Structure 1
């Protein structure tokens, strides 16, 4: 079940934190696919912990919409198109507001955002498309950090993982190149104090997400909730 990366427990890490880290990672990164069933005893055996931290983690992940309870276990839920559409709107609105804070506060440097863009282009050159969804999230994290709005981003991410899970499915180099170009344009516009151009770059990225949702539902219908 857990044969890939990041399953080693750190010496100071509690069993509950370890189980949560592994399960949330595997669900978000789509190592555990929608519809896959988890059984507490199996997870406990695989991760070499007792059932109690596994049970507690299942309960937490159900609250966070990353698991659904079923008899004798839990399943990874399908992606919810309505939730993704709502998340696109929420992220667009909140990120535009965060950029407004950057325009007002005028941070001393945009180097953290520039480094994020450089990592995106490096991943594209190396063909590491599976990294791109995570790098897109890192760009957002640095933008909100510079705007001193990380709690807002934390609240957005706690709303649900489905927008990230959708992006994780996509391995189109042109699409990710387009998003990296929009990030580069956004950073350049912020450096020039051109708020309209920065907003246009951001809106262009989120405008892309709706057709991507339709594409994902067409390519992987088994991964999505059926209305």
Structure 2
């Protein structure tokens, strides 16, 4: 495990919170690949903390299914294809309901969503593909927030770890530009009170996941179970 700026501990951050933040981020962002093994002693030495917060973090990540216990450590689990498909179905279904709420109870401003799209386009222009999965997540969180449904997206995100890791594997700028275009169409549809336009754009975005999953499973079968 090689550390970088994300591994810098904030002055007010407890050792346990620090270790959890680093490991969960590394797993979600695919800096730690599926199948990679971690040992508590190595992580403690790398992050310059005692073994106790590392042990506690391993236990927490195992409960959250981001690590699997193995003798003398833990391993980053492979992506579960069935879970990804189920997660996409949940997002697709609930997002349509959220769009309906935004259509019936139009928010006072769509600027937060517009800022999300602008951030995506800026990242693409700068070649920062690595940011796109996180910006994609921020767009959907903002969409739910405008509808007052933060608790719903909280639940969805807790079950979306493998979907997020899959999106981190999408390295095509053209595909991410297509996603940004669909997000822009969602905003435009909401602004014009055109539910069908917004709903179609979200459907088009979710439709990308199936071919992406198939391509990634073909290119890196050892990342999946």
Q: TM-score range by the shorter chain?
A: over 0.9
Task: Answer whether contact 2:3 2:46 (CA < 8 A) is retained.
Answer: no
Tell me, what secondary structure is at the counterpart of 1:69? strand
Q: How many residues align?
A: 225
Task: Answer whether contact 1:65 1:160 (CA < 8 A) is retained.
Answer: no
- Give structure 2 stretches of 5+ with no counterpart: none
| TM-score normalized with structure 1 length | 0.96
Correspondence for 2:142: 142
Correspondence for 1:22: 22
Correspondence for 2:171: 171
Give the distance between the partners of 1:158 and 1:60, measured in 2 at CA. 13
Tell me, what secondary structure is at the counterpart of 2:131? helix
Tell me, what secondary structure is at the counterpart of 1:6? helix
Deviation at 1:219, TM superposition (A): 1.3
Give the distance between the partners of 2:65 and 2:188, measured in 1 at CA. 37
The superposition leaves residues 177-202 of structure 1 with CA deviations (integer Å, 9 ceiling, x where unpaired) of 11000000000000011111111110
Correspondence for 1:213: 213
Give the distance between the partners of 1:134 and 1:45, measured in 2 at CA. 29
Correspondence for 1:224: 224
1:103-142 counterparts in 2 under 5 A?
A: 103-142=103-142
* RMSD, matched Cα: 1.0
Task: Answer whether contact 2:37 2:74 (CA < 8 A) is retained.
Answer: yes
Give the distance between the partners of 1:97 and 1:53, measured in 2 at CA. 41
